[in-house]
């Protein structure tokens, strides 16, 4: 094996100190690990906010906190979960898997990669420090609507600066992903032979590039209104509060897909592996993702159906929104058809993938209902909305991240995890998440507004059920911590290089644990190693 | 368990759920264990309810189809039962079908939704106009016109959370929310009762002009299906023609600060003659003058000593 | 196996180095272009806000 080519790209393996390895790293795997650990930590920070919220909502009446602190919690819960958990976790997975799946030695721009990670901890230190400031943390919801957000204290400056940092971080991360996928593919890894995970991230990156700067623009205007005397959103001086909502949701809706498209990619990897059958309609899956991404720019006002848009706009945004159901439906049908006449086995990642399909579909169904303008008038601002986006973000995005962890963890660590505990984690999560969020749909129908710390006694029963589900779901995630720590540090069960018997893709050609540097020379790629797209299936 | 047995159970469970959904639909104000939208008391709210149920059943049907197919696959094509994977990955007919059929279903839903949206946007021919202004954290109602005539002598209604609810909602108040009861109806109106409700006549198309003074609020009475954001600097409009007299309750639905949960909306709908009589008693220049001088016409009486 | 030894001709040292350099340069170009797009979106959102604001702007007194 000691051909000259092997020597060429071979980095000298030198011993790195702990500080060098984890703080100065330019290695895609180490940075991926940092991202994943960070988002794991933030999951418990954001989760503890959720536990406090559900504790206050356990019964009618105020028992634990002042209403303003409750508003701080809801705002920070949203910001932490979106920018601190879901997005970094997907970027972490991208860091780990994209170079391995396309046969590259590393990300295209390794030092940029280091920067985009290290912006995150500082951004969140700034954001979370606002809890300890006079006036408290931002309390205007994660959507930060003016004029309400302008009533906040000095913490608004910290909020906006941290959002700028988060925006820069995710834009740099996406630049890196695009540059990597477009330039670093090994010969033979054509775009239309690429894994679905890489495809989903390529498209997601373009969404990030287009919309994160728009969020930065929106909050910059808030910053100027709050501190420098401009009147972008001040109606008394001719500004327009609704303009903020337009700009924000132009970011906000593609953001929703930033948090779900990589999940689609992950599910499209897991399902064929455990169905032992090529993904049904690979091309259709790629086009569906592209189509969803494109449409996501044309539907932002469905978050604003009640702000008093003209009739024509309401109807246009209703049609565009309903249209998104079509490619999304295609994806779900394709996953189910991939399972049809396969040879299914139900290892832990497959359980999470099936859980994803069911829960995401439930969230999708409620999405179709609220696309209908007249119906949305009765849903808007209620717990039905809360239930909807938690079904797609917890049952969808978070389930796919956990599924991906269970899918690739043996490849990362070189060890197998406990089948029993990981399956217990799944069953406990999938039941409790429904106890948690299904009743919230009833509360929404009954008219309970979202973001309230206290409610009429008529809403008491379902809130109590929901809170019990919430505590149960929260506690269940401790199993996850145990399984991962056990697997990484204590498990004796060695993982084979392929790990799952029908797993395809270049990452499975590397040994487990994957070596520090992936493909120091481009591998000679044989189509049978790649994800089976159907084109190569016999 | 055999697959047909499993299917029967699922269908049975869904039918039971459906029955429950329909049975609780007719209530006016929120009730414990409520699971569905209120049917409401306006034509628009009835139509919305029908559209909502149609969409819901379409979703349930699609859910049964998709999840059913998936569970059949899970049961029949298990490797542990010796299933051997096939290798096909395309089927053009199938793929065209599940692209076209959803489009047709969506057109089926979008058509009535479009017509209904048009109707909801049509506030012409309203016989009464009320201006609604949101404040942190109360509502202000001004009668603008009625029966083609401007209303000038009726004082502004300041509508804020009822004092008993306000006392009970304080942290560690020691007052149970369950003890807050409407004396006449026995309804538990904690956080859903106000000092002075808006009063409107039954059978009259009322147009609400909705705005706000400080931050964005939201004015919504679920039973009317009348709902618009109240935004500073912008005048939105909604309308309702309520046929059934009664007391209807709603809440602010846009986060508006610390007491967002404490600015309910209560609308009292009176039969037309009673309303006219009520309006006549309100037309009182002296009271109007007083009300305009003290904005908090609804000032609290001293609270009874705690204990 | 990252490097199946299937008897295909191996690229020479220089050639492999040059290919890696080319890819790096190309990746850097891509990155700058994408960064330009991102900055354009940021500026566009501010300009949008500015224009919408200007059209009803009332000088504060």
Give chains near C: 3+ CB pairs under 8 A.
A
Domain that holds residue B17: 3-120
**Residue A152 preceded by cis peptide, ω within 30:** no
CB-based contact A225:A239 (threshold 8 Å): yes
CA distance C2 to C55: 62
The whole-angstrom distance between C38's CA and the closest CA on chain A is 5
**Tokens for A72?**
């701080």
* Confidence (pLDDT) at B155: 87
* Same-domain status, B190 and B98: no
What counts of helices (H) and strands (E) characterise chain C? 1, 0
The count of residues in chain C is 61
* Same-domain status, B276 and B133: yes
CB-based contact A52:A73 (threshold 8 Å): yes
Nearest CA to A393 out of A161, A35, A46 is that of A46
The verdict on B7 touching A (C-beta cutoff 8 Å) is: no
Region A182-211: mean pLDDT is 94
CA distance A305 to A307: 6
Q: For chain B, what percentages of helix, strand and coil (3-state, to nearest 5) are there? A: 40, 20, 40
Using the predicted structure, report yes or no on whether residue B111 has a pLDDT greater than 90: yes
Provide the phi-psi class of A222: left if phi over 0, else alpha when psi is between -120 and 50, else beta: alpha
* Confidence (pLDDT) at A16: 80
pLDDT tens per residue, range B211-240: 999 999 999 999 999 999 999 999 999 999
**Catalytic residue check, A345:** no
* Confidence (pLDDT) at B264: 96
* Same-domain status, B156 and B233: yes
Interface test with A, best of C12, C26, C35, C49 (most A CBs within 10 A): C49
Using the predicted structure, report yes or no on whether residue A204 has a pLDDT greater than 70: yes
**Residues in chain A closer than 8 A to B20 (CB atoms):** none
How sure is the predictor about A17, in pLDDT bands with cuts at 50, 70 and 90? confident
Q: Which residue of C has its CA nearest to A251?
A: C45
Question: Are A61 and B86 a contacting pair at CB < 8 A?
Answer: no
How sure is the predictor about A11, in pLDDT bands with cuts at 50, 70 and 90? very low
CB-based contact B109:B54 (threshold 8 Å): yes
Highest mean pLDDT among A7-16, A209-218, C20-29: A209-218
Cα angle for residues A459, A462, A463 (degrees, 5° grid) = 75
Region B151-167: mean pLDDT is 91
Give chains near B: 3+ CB pairs under 8 A.
A
Pairing status of strand B205-212 against strand B128-135: parallel
Question: Are A458 and B34 a contacting pair at CB < 8 A?
Answer: yes
Nearest CA to A344 out of B1, B75, B67 is that of B75
CATH number at residue B110: 1.10.287.90
Region C7-21: mean pLDDT is 72
Given the residues A29, A164, A226, A302, select the one marked as catalytic.
A302
Instruction: Tell me the CA distances in angstroms from A390 to A23, A200, A328, B24, one per residue in order.
Output: 34, 21, 18, 25
Task: Give the total number of structural domains in chain B.
Answer: 2
Question: Are C30 and A182 a contacting pair at CB < 8 A?
Answer: yes
**Residue B137 preceded by cis peptide, ω within 30:** yes
Of residues A277, A345, A375, nearest to B48 (C-beta): A375
**Catalytic residue check, A538:** no
Instruction: Tell me the CA distances in angstroms from B69 to A314, B7, B99, one per residue in order.
Output: 35, 11, 17
**Residues in chain A closer than 8 A to B225 (CB atoms):** 374, 377-378
Given the residues A116, A169, A205, A382, select the one marked as catalytic.
A169
Region B101-106: mean pLDDT is 95
Nearest CA to B66 out of C51, A167, C28, A354 is that of A354
Percent of chain A whose pLDDT exceeds 70:
96
CB-based contact B216:A145 (threshold 8 Å): yes
CB-based contact A525:A189 (threshold 8 Å): yes
Of residues B77, B175, B234, nearest to A343 (C-beta): B77
Given the residues A77, A388, A390, A411, select the one marked as catalytic.
A77
Interacting residues of A473 by C-beta distance below 8 A, sequence separation 6+: A429, A432, A433, A435, A436
ipTM: 0.92
Of residues A179, A213, A214, nearest to C30 (C-beta): A179
State which of B68, B98, B120 marks the end of a domain: B120
If one compares B282 and A355, the residue with the highest pLDDT of the two is A355
* Confidence (pLDDT) at C56: 54
Using the predicted structure, report yes or no on whether residue A47 has a pLDDT greater than 80: yes
Using the predicted structure, report yes or no on whether residue B1 has a pLDDT greater than 50: no
Nearest CA to B177 out of A58, A66, A456 is that of A456
Q: Is residue B300 part of a domain?
A: no
- H/E stretch holding B125 reads none
Question: Are C24 and A179 a contacting pair at CB < 8 A?
Answer: no
**Residues in chain A closer than 8 A to C46 (CB atoms):** 217, 220-221
* Same-domain status, B152 and B287: yes
Pairing status of strand B264-270 against strand B198-201: parallel
Beta strands in B213-255 (DSSP E): 217-221, 226-230, 236-241, 246-251
Average pLDDT of chain A is 92
Tell me, what DSSP letter sits at residue C12? P
- Start-to-end CA distance of chain C, whole Å, equals 74
Using the predicted structure, report yes or no on whether residue C11 has a pLDDT greater than 70: no
Using the predicted structure, report yes or no on whether residue A54 has a pLDDT greater than 60: yes
**Residues in chain A closer than 8 A to B83 (CB atoms):** 341-344
**Tokens for A430?**
């999938």
How sure is the predictor about A520, in pLDDT bands with cuts at 50, 70 and 90? confident
State which of B65, B88, B120 marks the end of a domain: B120
Percent of chain A whose pLDDT exceeds 90:
85
How sure is the predictor about C24, in pLDDT bands with cuts at 50, 70 and 90? confident
Residue B207 pairs in a beta bridge with B129, B239
Burial (CB < 10 A; 0-12, 13-18, 19+), residue A1, is: exposed
- Between chain A and chain C, the number of residue pairs with CB atoms below 8 A apart is 136
**Catalytic residue check, A429:** no
**Tokens for B133?**
């202004």
Q: Which residue of A has its CA nearest to B65?
A: A333
pLDDT tens per residue, range A73-86: 999 999 999 999 99
- CATH architecture, domain A24-529: Up-down Bundle (1.20)
C-beta neighbour count of B145 within 10 angstroms: 16
**Catalytic residue check, A106:** yes
* Same-domain status, B104 and B137: no
- Between chain A and chain B, the number of residue pairs with CB atoms below 8 A apart is 305
If one compares B129 and C14, the residue with the highest pLDDT of the two is B129
CB-based contact B73:B63 (threshold 8 Å): no
* Same-domain status, B115 and B168: no
**Residues in chain C closer than 8 A to A9 (CB atoms):** 16, 20
Nearest CA to A173 out of A87, A252, A46 is that of A87
**Catalytic residue check, A527:** no
pLDDT tens per residue, range B266-304: 999 999 999 999 998 888 766 655 655 554 444 444 444
**Catalytic residue check, A30:** no
Lowest mean pLDDT among A437-441, A465-469, C56-60: C56-60
How sure is the predictor about C10, in pLDDT bands with cuts at 50, 70 and 90? low
Helix (H, G, I), strand (E, B) or coil at A381: coil
Question: Are C2 and A3 a contacting pair at CB < 8 A?
Answer: no
Instruction: Tell me the CA distances in angstroms from A46 to A81, A83, A85, A152, A406, one per residue in order.
Output: 6, 10, 8, 21, 22
* Same-domain status, B132 and B259: yes
The count of residues in chain A is 538
The whole-angstrom distance between A19's CA and the closest CA on chain B is 44
pLDDT tens per residue, range B15-35: 545 544 444 444 478 899 999
Interacting residues of A182 by C-beta distance below 8 A, sequence separation 6+: A202, C27, C30
**Catalytic residue check, A240:** no
**Residues in chain C closer than 8 A to A217 (CB atoms):** 41-46, 48-49
C-beta neighbour count of A341 within 10 angstroms: 18
The domain spans of chain C are: 15-55
CA distance A426 to A474: 13
- H/E stretch holding A9 reads none
Question: Are A230 and C53 a contacting pair at CB < 8 A?
Answer: yes
Report phi then psi at B240, rounded to 5: -155, 145
Question: Are C34 and A175 a contacting pair at CB < 8 A?
Answer: yes
Nearest CA to A485 out of A535, A384, A413, A424 is that of A413
Q: Is residue B179 part of a domain?
A: yes
CB-based contact A201:A262 (threshold 8 Å): yes
* Same-domain status, B114 and B147: no
Nearest CA to A143 out of A252, A38, A58 is that of A252
* Confidence (pLDDT) at C57: 55
Q: Is residue B70 part of a domain?
A: yes
Provide the phi-psi class of A144: left if phi over 0, else alpha when psi is between -120 and 50, else beta: left
CA distance A382 to B193: 19
Region B171-188: mean pLDDT is 89
Nearest CA to A331 out of A309, A295, A364, A307 is that of A364
Average pLDDT of chain B is 86
The whole-angstrom distance between A217's CA and the closest CA on chain C is 5
Residues of chain C in Cβ contact (below 8 Å) with chain A: 1-6, 8, 10-13, 16-17, 20, 23-24, 26-28, 30-31, 34-35, 37-39, 41-46, 48-50, 52-53, 56-58, 60
The whole-angstrom distance between B84's CA and the closest CA on chain A is 5
Region A95-106: mean pLDDT is 93
Q: Which of residues 66-85 of B touch A (CB under 8 A)?
A: 66-67, 69-70, 73-74, 77-80, 83-85
Instruction: Supply the pTM of this predicted model.
Output: 0.90
Residue B229 pairs in a beta bridge with B218
């Amino acid at each position: 094996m000691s051909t000259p080519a092997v020597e060429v790209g071979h980095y000298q393996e030198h011993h790195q100190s702990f500080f060098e390895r984890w703080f100065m790293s330019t290695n895609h795997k180490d940075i991926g690990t940092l991202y994943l650990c960070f988002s794991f930590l933030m999951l418990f920070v954001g989760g503890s906010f959720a536990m406090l919220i559900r504790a206050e909502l356990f019964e009618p009446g105020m028992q634990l906190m002042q209403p303003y602190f409750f508003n701080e919690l809801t705002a920070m819960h949203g910001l932490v979960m979106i920018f601190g958990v879901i997005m970094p976790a997907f970027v972490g997975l991208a860091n780990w898997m994209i170079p391995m799946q396309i046969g590259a030695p590393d990300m295209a721009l390794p030092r940029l990669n280091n920067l985009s990670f290290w912006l995150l901890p500082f951004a969140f230190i700034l954001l979370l420090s606002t809890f300890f400031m006079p006036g408290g943390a931002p309390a205007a919801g994660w959507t930060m609507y003016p004029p309400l957000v302008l009533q906040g204290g000095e913490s608004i400056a910290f909020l906006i600066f941290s959002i700028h940092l988060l925006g820069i971080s995710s834009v740099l991360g996406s630049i890196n992903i695009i540059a990597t996928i477009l330039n670093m593919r090994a010969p033979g890894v054509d775009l239309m032979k690429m894994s679905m995970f890489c495809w989903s991230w390529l498209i997601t990156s373009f969404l990030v590039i287009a919309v994160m700067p728009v969020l930065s623009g929106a909050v910059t205007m808030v910053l100027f209104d709050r501190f420098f005397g401009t009147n972008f959103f001040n109606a008394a001086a001719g500004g327009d509060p609704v303009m903020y909502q337009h700009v924000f949701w132009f970011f906000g809706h593609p953001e929703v897909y930033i948090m779900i498209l990589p999940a689609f990619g992950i599910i499209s990897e897991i399902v064929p592996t455990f169905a032992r059958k090529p993904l049904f309609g690979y091309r259709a899956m790629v086009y569906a993702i592209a189509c969803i991404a494109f449409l996501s720019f044309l539907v932002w006002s469905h978050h604003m159906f009640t702000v008093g848009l003209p009739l024509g706009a309401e109807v246009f945004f209703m049609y565009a929104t309903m249209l998104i159901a079509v490619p999304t439906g295609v994806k779900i049908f394709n996953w189910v058809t991939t399972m049809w006449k396969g040879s299914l086995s139900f290892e832990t990642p497959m359980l999470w993938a099936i859980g994803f399909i069911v829960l995401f579909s439930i969230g999708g169904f409620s999405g179709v209902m609220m696309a209908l303008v007249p119906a949305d008038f009765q849903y808007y601002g209620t717990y039905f909305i809360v239930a909807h986006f938690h079904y797609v973000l917890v049952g969808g995005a978070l389930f796919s991240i956990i599924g991906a962890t269970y899918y690739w963890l043996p490849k990362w660590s070189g060890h197998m995890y406990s089948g029993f505990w990981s399956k217990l984690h799944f069953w406990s999560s999938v039941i409790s998440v429904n106890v948690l969020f299904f009743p919230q749909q009833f509360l929404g129908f009954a008219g309970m507004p979202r973001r309230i710390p206290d409610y009429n006694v008529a809403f008491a029963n379902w809130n109590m059920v929901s809170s019990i589900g919430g505590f149960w779901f929260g506690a269940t995630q401790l199993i996850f911590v145990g399984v991962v720590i056990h697997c990484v540090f204590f498990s004796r069960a060695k993982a084979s290089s392929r790990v799952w018997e029908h797993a395809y893709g270049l990452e499975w050609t590397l040994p487990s644990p994957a070596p520090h540097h992936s493909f120091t020379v481009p591998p000679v790629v044989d189509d049978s190693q790649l994800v089976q797209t159907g084109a190569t299936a016999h | 368990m055999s697959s047909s047995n499993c299917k029967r159970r699922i269908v049975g469970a869904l039918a039971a759920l459906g029955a429950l959904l329909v049975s609780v639909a007719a209530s006016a104000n929120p009730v414990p264990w409520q699971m569905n939208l209120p049917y409401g008391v306006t034509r628009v709210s009835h139509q919305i309810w029908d559209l909502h149920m149609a969409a819901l059943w379409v979703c349930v049907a699609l859910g049964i189809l998709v999840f059913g197919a998936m569970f059949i696959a899970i049961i029949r094509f298990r490797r542990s039962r010796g299933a051997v994977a096939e290798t096909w990955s395309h089927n053009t007919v199938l793929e065209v079908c599940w692209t076209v059929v959803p489009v047709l279903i969506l057109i089926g839903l979008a058509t009535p939704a479009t017509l209904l949206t048009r109707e909801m946007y049509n506030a012409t021919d309203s016989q009464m106009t009320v201006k609604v202004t949101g404040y942190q954290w109360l509502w202000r109602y001004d009668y603008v016109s009625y029966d083609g005539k401007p209303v000038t002598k009726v004082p502004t209604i300041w509508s804020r959370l009822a004092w008993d609810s306000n006392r009970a909602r304080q942290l560690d108040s020691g007052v149970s929310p369950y003890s807050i009861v409407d004396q006449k109806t026995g309804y538990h109106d904690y956080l859903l009762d106000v000092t002075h409700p808006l009063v409107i006549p039954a059978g009259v198309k009322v147009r609400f002009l909705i705005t706000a003074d400080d931050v964005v609020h939201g004015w919504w009475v679920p039973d009317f299906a009348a709902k618009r954001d109240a935004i500073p600097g912008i005048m939105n409009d909604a309308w309702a023609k309520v046929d059934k007299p009664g007391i209807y309750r709603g809440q602010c639905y846009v986060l508006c600060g610390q007491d967002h949960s404490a600015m309910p909306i209560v609308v009292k709908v009176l039969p037309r003659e009673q309303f006219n009589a009520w309006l006549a008693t309100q037309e009182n220049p002296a009271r109007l003058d007083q009300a305009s001088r003290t904005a908090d016409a609804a000032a609290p009486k001293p609270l009874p000593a705690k204990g | 196996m990252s490097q199946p030894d299937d008897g295909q001709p191996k690229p020479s040292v220089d050639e492999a180095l040059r290919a890696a350099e080319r890819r790096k340069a190309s990746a850097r170009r891509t990155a700058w272009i994408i960064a330009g797009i991102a900055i354009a979106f940021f500026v566009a959102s501010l300009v949008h806000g500015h224009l919408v604001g200007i059209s009803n702007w009332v000088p504060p007194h």
